[in-house]
A = this chain, B = another copy of it.
Amino acid sequence: MKVGFIGLGHMGSAIAANLLKAGYDVTVYNRTRAKAEALASQGAKVASTPGEAATGDAVFTMLADDTAVASVVFDDGGILASMNPKAVHISLSTISTALSKRLVEAHANTGQRYVAAPVLGRPDAAAAAKLFIVAAGAADAVKAVTPLFDVIGQRTFVVSEQADAANVVKLSCNFLIATVIESLGETMALTSKAGIDKHHFLDILTSTLFGAPIYKTYGNLIADEKFKPAGFAAPLGLKDVRLALAAGEELRVPLPIASLLRDRFLTLLANGGDDLDWSAVGSLAAKDAGVA
């Protein structure tokens, strides 16, 4: 099976490497070519345009946002013009439901197929092939690329035949993580102002009711105020909350906590937070409380 891979950031490079390890014939493309070259030593072919990477049976895209994905698909030299009939575009990126719908239609019009497959997990999970994949799309298309998912992740959840449903799930997950960040920020501001050490409070939470890794990971970042370097940058956090709100608006679902989070991210970014990890949102409650 011949596959393409477009977008070689921390996540994309790790995923593409796993496809290579599994023996797939992988052609990679990245805007900054150096990152593509880095995979050549592992057997990847390097394409000069997105379209060149998209002439096989399937092509992955793993990019930062809607604009980047739309560009590699629709621009001159993009994948839409070069993909074969029946070939599958697998979109791993966290994008809007609106773009996901547009991609469904565009690929259908050209006889190609599209699967939305956003992933849960950070770069270390990607490297260990331990990602979770939330997939949606036409059953035949999903089936066709399932072997690829098995190589890059530990489990695939197929949620719907309607591709954008996968994006809704992914956006909901990120919204929930941001909620954990904010709620830890608020309770840590409260308990620390009451004289309790932040790590002690966090230890109580994670030893009792809130044992999920997400609480430990983000709780420690907030307690230590360790927001650099950014594992997931604040502007991306804002983007995801905004996309969750947009999905809610399209479906007419008010999301009051997401609204509150959007304002928090804006506050963070308006006050120098562009380079910080999105967990820095968890420091704003303390700032409002006059203790940071």
Are the CB atoms of A172 and B195 closer together than 8 Å?
Answer: no
CB-nearest residue of chain B to A290? B270
Given A212-B215, A251-B194, A251-B289, the answer on whether A157 and B204 have CB atoms closer than 8 Å is yes
Residue A8 is within 8 A (CB to CB) of chain B in the complex: no
Given A134-B204, A290-B271, the answer on whether A260 and B259 have CB atoms closer than 8 Å is yes
- Give chain A's interface secondary structure class: helix
Residues of B near A164 (CB, < 8 A) are: 194
Are the CB atoms of B169 and A201 closer together than 8 Å?
Answer: yes
Could you tell me which residues of chain A, from 149 to 194, have a CB within 8 Å of some CB in chain B? 155, 157, 159-160, 162, 164-165, 168-169, 172-173, 175-177, 179, 182-184, 186-187, 189-191, 193-194
Given A175-B187, A195-B165, A214-B210, the answer on whether A256 and B249 have CB atoms closer than 8 Å is no
Are the CB atoms of A160 and B196 closer together than 8 Å?
Answer: yes
**Interface readout for A63-96 with B: 1 if CB under 8 Å, 0 if not?**
0000000000000000000000000000000000
Q: Out of B207, B244, B269, B285, name the residue touching A190 (CB < 8 Å).
A: B244
Residues of B near A251 (CB, < 8 A) are: 190, 193-194, 289
Are the CB atoms of B254 and A259 closer together than 8 Å?
Answer: no
- Shortest distance between the CB of A106 and any CB in chain B (Å): 20
Could you tell me which residues of chain A, from 196 to 214, have a CB within 8 Å of some CB in chain B? 196, 200-201, 203-205, 207-214
Are the CB atoms of B260 and A209 closer together than 8 Å?
Answer: no
Bound form: Cα–Cα A247–B248 in Å: 19
Residues of B near A193 (CB, < 8 A) are: 251-253
Are the CB atoms of A253 and B190 closer together than 8 Å?
Answer: yes
Are the CB atoms of B212 and A209 closer together than 8 Å?
Answer: yes
Bound form: Cα–Cα A215–B211 in Å: 10
**Interface readout for A244-274 with B: 1 if CB under 8 Å, 0 if not?**
1101110111111111101110110111100
Residues of B near A260 (CB, < 8 A) are: 256-257, 259-260
Residue A242 is within 8 A (CB to CB) of chain B in the complex: yes
Are the CB atoms of B249 and A242 closer together than 8 Å?
Answer: yes
Bound form: Cα–Cα A257–B258 in Å: 10
A157-B200, A172-B191, A252-B269 given; name 19 further pairs at CB < 8 Å. Answer: A132-B208, A134-B204, A157-B203, A160-B194, A160-B195, A165-B194, A168-B194, A169-B196, A176-B210, A190-B244, A209-B212, A211-B211, A245-B262, A252-B266, A253-B270, A254-B262, A259-B260, A266-B288, A267-B289
Selected A-B contacts with CB under 8 Å, 27 pairs:
A120-B208, A157-B200, A162-B195, A165-B195, A168-B191, A172-B187, A172-B190, A176-B205, A176-B209, A186-B257, A186-B258, A189-B255, A190-B248, A190-B253, A209-B213, A212-B212, A248-B266, A249-B266, A252-B289, A254-B263, A254-B264, A256-B285, A259-B262, A267-B289, A270-B288, A270-B289, A271-B290
